[in-house]
Amino acid sequence: MEVVTEQKIALIEDDPVVRHTTQQWLDLAGFDVQSFETAETALGSIKDNSFCAIVSDVRLPGQSGLDLMQQVKAVNPSIPIVLITGHGDVDMAVKALQKGAFDFIEKPFEPERLSDTISQAIAHYQSSKHWKSRQHYLKNLQGMEQTLIGQSAVMKELREQIHKVANIDTHVIIYGDTGCGKEVVAQCLHQYSLRSKHAFVPVNCGAIPETLFESELFGHEIGAFTGAAKKRVGKLEFADKGTLFFDEIESMPAAMQVKVLRVIQENTVERVGSNQSHHVNLRIISAAKSPLLNHPEFRQDLFYRLNVAQLYLPPLKEREEDALLLFDHFTQQANSNTRRASRADQDALLSYHWPGNVRELRNVAMRFALDDSVTVGEILSSQPTTPNPTKQQGVSLAIQMQSFEKKVLHECLNRHHGCISDVMQELDLPRRTLNQKMLKYALSRSDYID
């Protein structure tokens, strides 16, 4: 079987002159073309090789282009087929569209029109193929992947690290930006540990008023303070034999840090208003947005007690390839019969910088799934904060370069009204390279012609 390229197409044309000139143009346009004289000779090769698109004349000796289309669709329904028709075949081609043809082009045609149509067909095919691949992945999730979804290298590494750390009964600190899913990682550490049969107890240190912190953690006896009408078991004691999760631990008041340090050292807890100690067996998982040593108010002795193992949860911008996968997952959670994201929707998802990370992506997916009239671009443009990614601190150089490259290509195509030769000359790019970049950024010449 031959090696498949992203722009491999089959061209079926019985006229040798037209076939040769068309293949020559498409070769220059950057496509990997294999040409055939008849439908019969093409069919075997199409079945044995993976083409991204098929371009066929309707009228051929022997089987017609329509016959070929029916046989190809029976083998691979998703492959796009572009039909080339004479003037008298237009009605027939329209009917072919209804039966699954991607598009038809009437003779005589501009070469740029054919190459643009093929580029759109390939983009459609690749998008459909990737969607099916994502659906297959989501339907076959197992183990930790059901909770921590992602095929990127950083997510695979993170899952491996969690498996290694989970059964080592020690304290862990998780670092990650807001919205990355630090509590989800903490829950995985608990679920895959020897403590999984006992409680997972989350404590958001940033959400508890300082005056209530001690009672929340340590509990209290009846009458310990005004309003203490009944005994209460605190989070530390409730998490005995299980896992205690301190979210935003950098927000823990200094006075509480001393008392938590003593609990870790002595493995005992005293409720407020009591002199009796209760033994506790705790595993503490902490989460912070930045290294705790960067916070002068955080006690170093407590840090060193907690910092036995570390996990880093990457922001979404460091695993862009997971964005579409997560989007599909969240839309299906919101509505099992939801519409599929269009190419424009996918481009918007991939070009956005996601300051709110996975949490923001989930909210966008929910809105998209529940409102058929709105696009992803419209949702993102209405976000309360959408800073320019090229000016955003922490955005990778690769992302900034891609954004700049797309902007330059768009402006140049607009300036030359879609004239490919002028764009090639100004940007000093060969046709193949320009075609690949236009396909990458979903830029179509037809959008710039006056």
Better-predicted residue by pLDDT, 89 or 173:
173
Supply the pLDDT for residue 123. 86
Write the pLDDT tens digit of every residue in 204-239: 999 999 988 998 999 878 766 666 667 888 999 999
Q: Would residue 442 count as lying in a domain?
A: yes
Strand 32-36 and strand 8-12: pairing? parallel
Q: Compute the C-alpha angle 108/112/113, nearest 5°.
A: 60
224-228, 299-303, 360-364, 367-371: lowest mean pLDDT where? 224-228
Do 176 and 287 meet the contact criterion of CB atoms below 8 Å apart?
yes
CA atoms of 5 and 31, how far apart (whole Å): 9
Q: What is the pLDDT of residue 93?
A: 76
- Residue 437's pLDDT is 80
Co-location of 251 and 325 in the same domain: no
Least confident of 173-187, 229-243, 253-267, 433-447: 433-447
Q: Which two tokens stand for residue 170?
A: 């020690």
Note the pLDDT of residue 392.
44
Which pLDDT band holds residue 393 (cuts at 50, 70, 90)?
very low
Band of residue 326 on the pLDDT scale cut at 50, 70, 90: very high
Residue 339 sits in a domain whose CATH number is 1.10.8.60
Dist CA 241 CA 195 (whole Å): 7
Please compute, for residue 233, the number of CA atoms within 13 A of its CA located in the half-sphere on the CB side: 9
Please check the confidence at residue 396 and state whether its pLDDT lies above 70: no
CA distance 398 to 369: 30
Please report, to the nearest 10 degrees, the dihedral formed by the alpha carbons of residues 83, 84, 88, 93 taken in order. Answer: 10
Cβ atoms of 444 and 119 closer than 8 Å: yes
Q: What is the reported pLDDT for 223?
A: 64
Instruction: Say which CATH number the domain at 36 has.
Output: 3.40.50.2300
- Asked whether residue 324 is domain-assigned, the answer is yes
Regarding whether 217 and 72 lie in a shared domain, the answer is: no
**Residue 230 covered by a domain:** yes
Higher pLDDT, 4 or 337: 337
Same domain flag for 53 and 165:
no
In a domain, 145, yes or no: no
Mean pLDDT value across residues 24-37: 92
Residues 23, 125, single domain; the answer is: yes
Q: What is the pLDDT of residue 237?
A: 94
What is the count of structural domains for the chain? 4
For the chain, the helix, strand and coil percentages under 3-state DSSP, each to the nearest 5: 50, 15, 35
Is there a single domain that holds both residue 17 and residue 128?
A: yes
pLDDT score for 386: 44
More reliable by pLDDT, 96 or 349:
349
Which of 349, 370, 391 is the last residue in one of the domains?
Answer: 391
One domain for residues 71 and 163: no
The answer on 249 and 339 residing in a single domain is no
Residues 6+ positions from 58 with CB-CB distance below 8 Å: 64, 65, 66, 83, 84, 85, 86, 89, 92, 93, 96, 104
Regarding whether 206 and 113 lie in a shared domain, the answer is no
Q: Which pLDDT belongs to residue 6?
A: 65
Do residues 170 and 302 share a domain?
yes
Answer yes or no: is pLDDT of 135 > 60: yes
pLDDT of residue 387: 47
Task: Look at residue 411 in the predicted model and tell me its pLDDT.
Answer: 85
Query: Are 377 and 419 in the same domain?
Result: no
Its domain, for residue 122, covers: 8-137
Least confident of 89-98, 103-112, 150-159, 195-204: 89-98
Integer angstrom CA distances of residue 130 from 135, 136, 354: 9, 10, 22
CA distance 249 to 255: 13
Instruction: Report if residue 149 sits inside a domain.
Output: no
Range list of β-strands (E), 46-102: 53-57, 81-85
DSSP 308: T
Tell me if 285 is assigned to some domain.
Answer: yes
Paired strand residues for 36:
12
Q: What are residue 35's DSSP bridge partners?
A: 11
At 148 the pLDDT is 96
Helices (H), 76-168: 90-98, 111-139, 153-166
Nearest to residue 58, comparing CAs of 94, 29, 31? 94
For residue 233, the domain's CATH number is 3.40.50.300
Average pLDDT, the chain: 87
Whether residues 306 and 165 share a domain: the answer is: yes
134, 325 contact by CB (below 8 A): yes
pLDDT band, very low/low/confident/very high, at 399 (cuts 50, 70, 90): low
Among residues of the chain, what percentage have pLDDT more than 90? Answer: 54
Pick from 313, 347, 377: which residue ends a domain? 313
Write the pLDDT tens digit of every residue in 35-81.
Answer: 999 999 998 888 776 789 999 999 999 999 999 999 998 888 889 99
pLDDT of residue 417: 83
Rounded average pLDDT over 2-20? 80
In a domain, 349, yes or no: yes
Does the pLDDT value for residue 395 go beyond 90?
no
Tell me the residue ranges of DSSP E strands in 149-221. 172-175, 200-204, 219-220
Instruction: Please tell me whether residues 133 and 243 are part of one structural domain.
Output: no
pLDDT for res 151: 93
| Token pair 């009204």 in the structure block, residue | 417
Cα 441 off chain centre by:
17
Could you say which of 104, 137, 170 is where a domain stops? 137
The partner residues of 174 in beta bridges, in order of sequence, read 287, 311
Q: Is the pLDDT assigned to residue 90 strictly greater than 50?
A: yes
Residue 3 lies in a domain: no
Of 183, 173, 176, nearest to 316 (Cα)? Answer: 176
- What do you get for the CA distance between the two ends of the chain, in Å? 44
pTM of the model: 0.74
